[in-house]
Structure 1
Amino acid sequence: MADKERGADKGPNRLVSVTLDESSIARGNPDQEHERAIALYDILEGNSFSVPDREGPYSLVLGLVENKLSFAISTADGQPVMTHLLSLSPFRRVIRDYEMICESYYNAIRTASPSQIEAIDMGRRGLHNEASETLKQRLDGKVDLDHDTARRLFTLIFALHWKG
């Protein structure tokens, strides 16, 4: 299972466990699997995540339910806090564009010049930032998170769309 747990000693407004729902994911290529592992590691090393009026730390299961993004949030000890479903419609274009630019990036790192790789990576980062801002807006009032946490969550959301 794509699960990592760590950091229970760093305060209540954070995720200590993140799992990608096994029924929602397909295995990616080695670059994608590496990116997912890094995102899981990074998000647990440092994140800011809280649910208004509910004490953390939290566990999160990300998945797809009837073509919606599911955030199943519980306390670190397993008590359910909430499940929030988000429409994927606002993310469709950026996910499609991000998938294309990531493919270009992975191809470029094998054959392109450093300046070409840097230009593609700048575009990739720009799309990633756009998606994380959309995620923060869509979760506003339900979940409070910082920019870096939103970026890492988008990487995991993107991982749910990889083709096996």
Structure 2
Amino acid sequence: MSRILGVVAVLVAVSTAMAHTGIAQEGPPGMTRHVVFAPFDPNAPACSRPAGLRKALTFAQDNGRKFMQGVARGLELAAKDRGLTYEVDQANNDPIAMMEGVRKFVSSQGGALVISPVDSQSISPVIKQAIWSGAYVGSVVPPPAVSLLNAPQYLTGKVLGDEAAGYIKTRLKG
């Protein structure tokens, strides 16, 4: 009996720690089939903004190739123009380092993440945690993401940066 109580105590402690570190609980799978939405209704009630997210844009960068440097520069400029904190977490082609970086983003309650995944299959569950936390997630090429874009470097960074900034401004009141 005391062993069972010990296990229960550990589970409660872990659950409490996860809740206080901003680790997202598991959520829905998102859209898994084509969906046609009704036209935008400006009179619809506003959604509630996610609680406690920072007004910060993080770029989880796969490597230092020129294309990604251009994306990073566009994101940096977009964040600066909108008064957002900008952070780069470069994984140097290491999928484990990328997972650790995205977990750090989620636990630090980042408001927006743009990612160029090293391995989209292995990072997918961690990216979903970021989405479930309420953060904006944009991806350069492979999903999952809130928006997905593949375009010239500067434009890619600019569009994703503008999207992230817009999300923070409207959803986080930043």
Larger of the two Rg values belongs to structure: 2
Name whichever structure is richer in strand by fraction: 1
What's the TM-score, normalizing by structure 1? 0.29
What's the TM-score, normalizing by structure 2? 0.28
